[in-house]
Amino acid sequence: MSERVVREGLFGQLARIGKAIGSAKRLELLDVLGQGERSVESLAQATHMTVGNTSAHLQVLRNARIVETRRQGTKVLYSLADEQVGVFLRELWRLADTRLAEVEQLLRDYLEGDDSLERITRDELVRRSLSGDVCVIDVRPVEEYRAGHIPGAISVPFQELNEHLAKLPEGTDIVAYCRGPHCVLAPKAAQILRRSGLRAMVLEDGMPEWRAGGLPVSTARAS
């Protein structure tokens, strides 16, 4: 076997990964799976696709060994193959942040150009949580909250935020977090909270980064 044949074979294998992630919908599926394992039906709902399309995209990812499956009764649950996939996705986002101005512009447009949201680091949140002077809310869907959340965080799904406003503490800093630094749910939630007269800020990243940092994760169910 020649050196050229080997090199072409190696780059061909690398291209399998590139082809597998060469779809916005498949990248979105990986983003959701970064929060925890999901069924096809749940993933279809989260990404606004049909079950058939979702299943087809998942098969492409599975064939490239980016996701894996396990059975739970009659259900097939999907998850990221391992933490390396999560690391790869975070690095891909960093590259996009650096090279594509459109990423920041899309976020700014969604938040109506609001640059005044205060952000808090993981270390600062840990310190303030231990002292009890902050209220942490998880604005992801309940299913993701149950798969793992910051200890002490309250489940306040973004779609139900208005129903929870009266229950949130006044005079206490409220920290919202969601799927990661490119998830728009937490910043939008913080905007809504501030417009309602509450003190709100945003965790600078999200649950995948919290896990990757080796910080404690709770799986207690939402009340």
Amino acid at the residue 210: W
Catalytic residue positions, numbered: 178
pLDDT confidence of residue 223: 54
Read off the pTM: 0.91
- Is residue 138 within 8 Å of residue 150, measured between CB atoms? yes
Q: Where are the domains of the chain?
A: 3-85, 111-212
**Whole-angstrom Cα distance, residue 9 to residue 209?**
34
Tokens 């891909």 belong to which residue?
92
CATH architecture classification, 3-85: Orthogonal Bundle (1.10)
Pick the CATH number of 111-212 from 3.60.21.10, 1.10.3720.10, 3.40.50.10860, 3.40.250.10: 3.40.250.10
Residues 6 or more apart whose CB falls under 8 angstroms from that of 195 comprise: none
How high is the mean pLDDT in each 10-residue block of the chain (223 residues)? 93 96 98 96 97 98 98 95 96 96 92 83 94 94 95 96 93 96 94 95 95 92 60
pLDDT for residue 220: 72
